[in-house]
Amino acid sequence: MSLIANLFRSSVGRKILMALTGLILVGFVVGHLVGNLQIFGHPDKINGYAQFLHQTGPLLWVARLGLLAAVVIHIWAATMLTLENKRARGPEAYAVKTWLRASLASRYIRWTGYIVLAFIVYHLAHFTLGVTDPADFKDRHAYVLQEDYTVMGFATVPAGTTVPNVYLMVYRGFESAPVAVFYIIAVGLLSFHLLHGLDSLFQSLGLRSAAWSGWLRRLVALLCLGYFLGNLAIPAAILSGALPLHPAAQVTSGTPN
């Protein structure tokens, strides 16, 4: 118990908490991207995937609550460390010198974090709760799977199941230029946030050394670029017409099972 308490009370502990929760959140955003990229395939793919997640029931809620806890702890630790740094800051000249030496990503990591948080709230309101555009939210209903959705060779959602039409909801959402541009800017800021966050994560966990820190930064930069381009591809393909609406993504009668 004292070990857990020390994580919350000490500066080093808070940095470790930021690193661990950040690792959880990175795993989520990468998995989220992989799931979303299925929109480039048949609507059965992303619709079956969404239904499979929905069918996990309590496990899905455990994951959601775990992610919520990770977000809260991550923000709390970042805020506390920021306040501590301000209290411990030396003369103004020292602060200016430190600011000039800091990387652009590290200087603005807190601000990009808060903006990304605002985007997450909007993203949930748009695609999960259907608050921002009820018409798109209605498109979630009534898609009939044409083929079984399989996971590791097992049919988890059988053909003929009426499921939410996530494909059409995402497509209609990104047909709106303001929504697509806002999404692109937000994931750009998230990628920028990760650029410093991932590098700091290894340092906080004691996994970075001078011998390979340069290679680590290059690898992190490459991963962040790949993450941004993967997210950019979806709205860009829809807006440009490079990804036409799949004929199978038609709203049918009925409600999801």
Taking only the tens place, the pLDDT of each residue in 182-236 is: 889 888 888 888 887 887 877 777 777 777 777 888 888 999 999 999 999 999 9
Structure tokens at 66: 């775990």
- The three-class DSSP label of residue 144 is strand
Instruction: Return the pLDDT at 128.
Output: 62
- Residue range 92-108, pLDDT digits in tens: 544 444 443 445 445 55
**pLDDT tier at 123, thresholds 50, 70, 90:** low
pTM: 0.79
Residue 61 vs residue 7, higher pLDDT:
61
* pLDDT the model gives residue 110: 61
Report pLDDT for 212: 76
Strands 143-144 and 162-163: antiparallel
Count Cα atoms within 13 angstroms, Cβ side, for 240. Answer: 8
**163 contact partners, CB below 8 Å, separation of at least 6:** 47, 48, 50, 51, 143, 144, 145, 157, 256, 257
Per-residue pLDDT averaged across 133-142, rounded?
A: 60
For residues 122-147, give the mean pLDDT.
Answer: 67
The pLDDT confidence band at residue 133, using thresholds 50, 70 and 90, is low
